[in-house]
Structure 1
Amino acid sequence: MPLNFAHRGSLTEAPENTLPAFHKAIEHGARAIELDIQLSKDNHLVVAHDHKFARFNKKFDGLINDYTLEEIRQIDVGSAFGNEYAGTTLPTLDEVLDICPPELFLNIEIKNIPVIYDGIERRLLNTLNAHNRLENVIISSFDHVALKKVQDMHPGIDLGMLFYYRMLEPWIYAANSGLNIRSLHPNHVYVDQTFVQESKQQGYEVYPFTVNDTKRYDELLQYGVDGVFSNEPVIFKK
């Protein structure tokens, strides 16, 4: 059975990376959820994809880490989605973990590009440990140096290596990286049978992003992917 991730929660039904979006995904019976983390100005782990607020609230043009957590709690990111979500704000990772049942698989992406958050890896591991959440979780990032830092601090935790652009033999790159990678997370547009077969020969699971078309999803399953990241409830709740 594939392990499909609700990408940033159920973002077609509620503002992405917010508690309502995660509640929606859980209500749908999602077996796995993907979320993104950054650091506030005062070093709190905030769940957010974009490094700026502009897509959700044009009154605030700074970066996430230009604001303290107290200030972030005052920034409405829900109204841009719909009036029913007016006043919704970005949650902390602690708040998200509080609502996620232990059997729910989590993919936590460190958003370390273009902003490099010094110490985010340690804060993430400390938070997961405080919630007894070091199992049933994958830490992923496009910043593979961040993955190395996570591994150095906690060698046993599962790591997912993200790729956006096409690379020559990324499965070989991963094998030579010195990282204990569980899974490769490529952009689905260039995933084909060869990519999946070669990755699996190196012992890696494959989870392409972001797959919202059911025809493409079925095609990827035929290639042998282990699951996908999706915005489409029909896919992520399968």
Structure 2
Amino acid sequence: MVLNFAHRGSLTEAPENTLPAFQLAIEHGVKAIELDVQLTKDGHLVVCHDHKLTRFNKHAGLIKDYTLEEIKQIDIGSSFHEKYKGVVLPTLSEVLEVCPKDLLLNIEVKNIPVIYQGIEKKLIDCLREHERLSNVILSSFDHVALKNIQEIDPSIPLGMLFYYRILNPWEYAKQSGLNITSIHPNNVYTDKEFVRECKAFGYNVYPYTVNDMERYEQLVEYGVDGAFSNNPEIFVREN
């Protein structure tokens, strides 16, 4: 079965990485959701992709420069649509409370270019508190963060993200010594050979971000195990 992830929730229907976006994705019947975590100035886990909030609120700056209380005063929703005015960034705890436990969560640690010291332990502690360690993938472009996660809890499945093309990333993943269960490449360079080699090394392949149906079908033909997508036609689909 091909497993597709609603990328940042249903972000074409509601502000990305917000409770409404996740709730809409769940209503669509998704099997998996992708989301991003960062830390506030006072060390709380909030769900957001960008390190800067400027895209959502022109008066806002970096997440790391705000306390959680201050973050909760920043309107994220109205930049998407007036009906979402007043929607704010959720904490990871708030998201976990609305996500059924049979829903696979891919949680990406947004550790570049801002490095959040200690975010890995806070993330694992939060998941443990919500009894959410059994149906999750933790991923990052920061492979040191993946190493830190493994040192805290070696049982957690890790997803290794790649943006640029590198030589033999499947060999790099194997030689890293990390408990990598899946490789998440940019879909632009994901071809049949890439998928074949990754799977030969025992890795699932989940390319991002696949929004075009024709491209999606091509990737499925190559043998990918799923994809991250903004397109509801794709992320609710089961092959």
Counterpart of 1:152 in structure 2 is: 151
Counterpart of 2:171 in structure 1 is: 172
Provide the C-alpha distance between the structure 1 equivalents of 2:151 and 2:194, rounded to a whole number of angstroms: 28
Counterpart of 1:118 in structure 2 is: 117
Provide the C-alpha distance between the structure 2 equivalents of 1:115 and 1:59, rounded to a whole number of angstroms: 20
Offset of 1:71 from its aligned partner? 0.3
1:106 aligns to what SS in structure 2?
strand
Counterpart of 2:45 in structure 1 is: 45
1:183 aligns to what SS in structure 2?
strand
Write the deviation string for residues 40-67 of structure 1: whole angstroms up to 9, x where unpaired: 000000000000010000011x210100
Write the deviation string for residues 73-114 of structure 1: whole angstroms up to 9, x where unpaired: 000000000000000000000000000001000000000000
Write the deviation string for residues 169-214 of structure 1: whole angstroms up to 9, x where unpaired: 0000001001010000000000000000000000000000000000
Matches within 5 A, 1:138-217: 138-217=137-216
Provide the C-alpha distance between the structure 2 equivalents of 1:23 and 1:180, rounded to a whole number of angstroms: 31
Matches within 5 A, 1:1-238: 1-60=1-60, 62-238=61-237
1:20 aligns to what SS in structure 2?
helix
Provide the C-alpha distance between the structure 2 equivalents of 1:13 and 1:68, rounded to a whole number of angstroms: 28
Provide the C-alpha distance between the structure 2 equivalents of 1:206 and 1:64, rounded to a whole number of angstroms: 31
2:198 aligns to what SS in structure 1?
helix
Provide the C-alpha distance between the structure 2 equivalents of 1:223 and 1:46, rounded to a whole number of angstroms: 35
Provide the C-alpha distance between the structure 2 equivalents of 1:108 and 1:18, rounded to a whole number of angstroms: 14
Provide the C-alpha distance between the structure 2 equivalents of 1:148 and 1:3, rounded to a whole number of angstroms: 25
Q: Over the residues paired in the alignment, what is the CA RMSD in angstroms?
A: 0.4
Give the AA of the match of 1:116: I
**Which structure 1 residue ranges, 5 or more long, are not aligned?**
none
Write the deviation string for residues 21-41 of structure 1: whole angstroms up to 9, x where unpaired: 000000000100000000000
Please identify runs of 4+ aligned residues in structure 1 that moved more than 6 A. none
Give the AA of the match of 1:47: V
2:218 aligns to what SS in structure 1?
helix
1:235 aligns to what SS in structure 2?
helix
Provide the C-alpha distance between the structure 1 equivalents of 2:33 and 2:115, rounded to a whole number of angstroms: 24
Provide the C-alpha distance between the structure 1 equivalents of 2:180 and 2:107, rounded to a whole number of angstroms: 14
Write the deviation string for residues 118-140 of structure 1: whole angstroms up to 9, x where unpaired: 00000000000000000110000
Provide the C-alpha distance between the structure 1 equivalents of 2:201 and 2:53, rounded to a whole number of angstroms: 39
Give the AA of the match of 2:62: L
**Which structure 2 residue ranges, 5 or more long, are not aligned?**
none
1:109 aligns to what SS in structure 2?
strand
1:79 aligns to what SS in structure 2?
helix
